[in-house]
Chain A
Amino acid sequence: MVASTSKYKYIDCDPDLCIGCQICEYVCSYTKNGEYNTYRSRIRTVRVDEVLITAIACRTCENAPCVIACPQDALSQDPETGIIHIDARKCDGCAWCVEACDFGAITLNHQTKLAEFCDQCEDQEEGPQCVLWCPKEALSLTTPDQRAQKSRRERVIEEVAGPKKSKE
């Protein structure tokens, strides 16, 4: 069963706009760890083939499977924002959360042996740095409802004005 993702905001990527540059990963790893390293980014670009490209970060599921799966009770979900918080004293790096995540959005930091989650840069004044930096505005902080609204609008425009012309 795919986890429900209906309530909270999360970082969404529009695959039509994503060019696969990975700038989000550099910025994320720097913001969170002070070094540029895509292995330690909490958002990951995924290139399925030459043109099918997108990026994935924590989807802030309701009743998040990672929280349920954690045998150490190290994970908790903020009831307001849906952001997953980790108690570093409890996490033992077993990776059950990684396996539980339907989106592959959790990674294990090989140095600290802790699970790492996108926290939407909640401590940053300007909000998520990846959204700020994305050169093609492919990333946005959105909710499933907002995304559905956008899809409906695009659908109507497409029906009235014809298929979307490729960029610019």
Chain B
Amino acid sequence: MFGYSGKILHIDLAERKTWVEEKSEEWYKIYIGGVSMATRLCWENIKPGCDPYSPDNPVCIANGIFAGTPVPVGGKYGLASKSPMTGFIGDSLSGSWFSIALKRAGWDGVVIHGASENWVNIFIDDERIEFRDATKLLGLGTFETEEAIREELADDQVRSATIGPAGEHMVRFANVTNDGRQAGRTGHGAVWGSKKLKAVSVRGTQGIKVADPDTINKLSFDITKEAQGPHTSKYRILGTTTNVLNLNKLGLLPTRNYKEGVFEGAEKVSGEYLHDHHNVKTIACAQCPIACEQMSIVKSGPWTGTMTGIEYECLFANGPNLGISDMNAVIKLIDIADRSGIDAITMGVTLSWAMETYEKGVFTAQDFKCEKFPEGFEMKFGNGEAAVTTAELIRDREGIGKLLSDGTRIASGKIDKERGTETWKWAMQSKGLETAGYDARGLKTFSLGSAVGTRGPCHNRTAAYDPDIQGEVDRFKVDEKRGLLAKDTEEYAAVYDTLPLCKFIRRCFTGKADRAGAWPTIAQLINATTGWEFKYEDIDLIGERAHTIKKAFNVREGWKRVDDDLPWRWKHDPMTKGPSAGYVTTDEELEYMKDLYYEAKGWTKEGLIPKKKLIQLGMPDVAEQIGV
């Protein structure tokens, strides 16, 4: 078998033992890698219904087919556990060296069971597994932890996935970080923290062989060169931050906790401004010829010298969404998130909930008392220093940070119970996960995509905003096309998340990003790597299967139709300004679109998956357990 070693490494933290599981080629053909394989490993190894923080919730790492080969942007891995944010599948992706090292160490996947008594760093040294004491690493930030491990092991090719202080403190939306990239959103850092797992380090020294190296080299060379042209210029020059002004123009830039979709200070926190005033260098993940990470530095004021990579989602959440137009504060906030190992989107949207709650008089300065400010402070929109201080409190789970470090669903629930208020109405979350940087009130297809997301509302797992923004459909109206569009866009994304390939390469195969433009080349790449004979339809199936196993996981954890929902504000509280003013997605519209979507997926009206469908997809054991 090419492209895979056929081996999954199991590690038990409590017993301190390891074992190897061999998987069949057929299994790999169904689950491939990335988020799909990670979710499948989670399906096989979790105790259904368990508490996400219990030892029964495994950490599942799944590599990609192309990791360690020259196939552009193929250096990515998937990470899955039951999410402490949602109680459903928490599937994340992260790029760069970690996946490549793991591939060269000879492992297609790693499943970490149980919980450790003492803080541990697992060192996967090719075939040898070592449980190393991690006490010395405690308190170190994510980047510092990686460096410290490299120094300790005296090898700069050792790559680590780590948690920072936020994960150690079990901030519910803590990330796992590797090589400056984040496996974000669903709280992996907190799960690792619950296991006293500080880091997984890998040294892989074995070479990687593919079935047809001539084809891989030729295709990779052409794609690498194509990726220097107009198809990626958006990513290479400004990175994703170019979205700030584009979305502001459409009235979709979340502003002040999604009260509005236009921000008067947008110019000052735009990608263009960031590039001209703060850019130090644009860098790449391993195996990526595009390079989109805008390394940005603060040059004046109290946070001078702070430097981190800035992307749109982190920028919207901690800039316009907080009413902050001071780029220095935005960079500082994102730096706190990255170094502490916190999901910057959820952090920003939780801070904005706190700001609105303060401005509506539910919180007072008293609530923000801390060591630095014994009298508390004014948690107002636009107050960068207040946001920075609160972010640090979240990281340390101190003062108000204790409440906020559980995210907006739990925080608003506690406050409303305690004070008889309705702050949940401006908690911008669904399934317990905070919303992403596209206001769905002006994007009907994306409203549906967000509501049905298996890990909660997510811009990465569905590109349902695309047909809305590209004008393929009327973005302000619902119609019978939306069910199929939501299915198509989420399964398209799932193909990339499963191989995995970074989506930024999608136009570089033929110039067209749609299925017809991308699938034939992707099939060629898979076949030349593995020796398989995948056809166009098989690529579609990768996406459908990946999405199905995630959904199946959720169903087994008790998912119900009512869980596919939107935040109250998106359903009831229209914006007052800009081109998207006046619109909401009503319950009637949402339920209608959900009907269309479940039908397009071939599911029941209640959103459950028929046995027949699961068997067709090659998942008979899943059919057995949750099929109807």
- A30 to B217, Cβ gap below 8 A? yes
Q: CA A110 – CA B221 in complex, angstroms?
A: 29
* B208 interface hit (Cβ, 8 Å): yes
A29: chain B residues at CB < 8 Å are 207
Chain A residues 1-41 with CB under 8 Å of chain B are 16, 19-23, 26-27, 29-30, 33-40
Q: CA A136 – CA B236 in complex, angstroms?
A: 11
* A124 interface hit (Cβ, 8 Å): no
B501 vs chain A, min Cβ distance (A): 15
A53: chain B residues at CB < 8 Å are 283
A112: chain B residues at CB < 8 Å are none
A68: chain B residues at CB < 8 Å are none
Contact flags (1/0) for B132-172 with A, using CB distance below 8 Å? Answer: 00000000000100000000000001000000000000000
A133: chain B residues at CB < 8 Å are 70, 221, 224
Contact flags (1/0) for A132-164 with B, using CB distance below 8 Å? Answer: 010110000000000000000000000000000
- A21 to B209, Cβ gap below 8 A? no
- A168 to B291, Cβ gap below 8 A? no
A39 vs chain B, min Cβ distance (A): 5
* B285 interface hit (Cβ, 8 Å): yes
Q: CA A30 – CA B213 in complex, angstroms?
A: 9
* B282 interface hit (Cβ, 8 Å): yes
A110: chain B residues at CB < 8 Å are 205
B128 vs chain A, min Cβ distance (A): 15
- A36 to B283, Cβ gap below 8 A? no
- A21 to B284, Cβ gap below 8 A? yes
A131 vs chain B, min Cβ distance (A): 13
Q: CA A135 – CA B208 in complex, angstroms?
A: 22
B292 vs chain A, min Cβ distance (A): 10
- B291 to A19, Cβ gap below 8 A? yes
A23: chain B residues at CB < 8 Å are 70, 224, 287, 289
- B281 to A37, Cβ gap below 8 A? no
Main secondary structure of the interface of A (DSSP, over half): loop
Which of B209, B221, B237, B281 gathers the greatest number of chain A CB atoms within 10 Å? B281
B210: chain A residues at CB < 8 Å are 36
Looking at chain B, what size class is its interface with the partner chain? Answer: 35 or more
Q: CA A21 – CA B69 in complex, angstroms?
A: 12
Number of residues in A with C-beta < 8 Å to the partner? 28
B279: chain A residues at CB < 8 Å are 166
Query: B288 — nearest CB in chain A belongs to which residue?
Result: A21
Known A19-B284, A29-B207: A135·B68 in contact at CB below 8 Å: no
* A51 interface hit (Cβ, 8 Å): yes
Q: CA A30 – CA B217 in complex, angstroms?
A: 9
- B104 to A26, Cβ gap below 8 A? no
- B281 to A51, Cβ gap below 8 A? yes
Q: CA A20 – CA B284 in complex, angstroms?
A: 6
B408 vs chain A, min Cβ distance (A): 31
* A80 interface hit (Cβ, 8 Å): no
Q: CA A30 – CA B212 in complex, angstroms?
A: 13
* A89 interface hit (Cβ, 8 Å): no
* B304 interface hit (Cβ, 8 Å): no
- A168 to B236, Cβ gap below 8 A? yes
- B282 to A167, Cβ gap below 8 A? yes
A35: chain B residues at CB < 8 Å are 207-209
Q: CA A167 – CA B233 in complex, angstroms?
A: 12
- B286 to A36, Cβ gap below 8 A? no
Chain A residues 81-137 with CB under 8 Å of chain B are 110, 133, 135-136
* B62 interface hit (Cβ, 8 Å): no
B157: chain A residues at CB < 8 Å are 38-39
A37: chain B residues at CB < 8 Å are 68, 104, 205-208
Partner of B286, one of A16, A22, A34, A167: A22
CB within 8 Å of A: which residues of B? 68-70, 97, 100, 104, 143, 157, 180, 205-210, 213, 217, 221, 224-225, 227-228, 233, 236-237, 275, 279-291, 295, 307, 309
Q: List 27 A-B contacts (CB under 8 A).
A: A19-B283, A19-B288, A21-B285, A21-B287, A21-B289, A22-B97, A22-B287, A23-B224, A23-B289, A26-B68, A27-B70, A29-B207, A30-B70, A30-B213, A33-B207, A36-B68, A36-B69, A36-B207, A37-B206, A39-B104, A50-B180, A51-B281, A135-B224, A135-B291, A166-B281, A166-B282, A168-B236
Extra A-B contacts (7), CB below 8 Å, given A166-B282, A168-B236, A168-B237: A27-B70, A36-B207, A36-B210, A37-B104, A38-B157, A133-B221, A135-B224
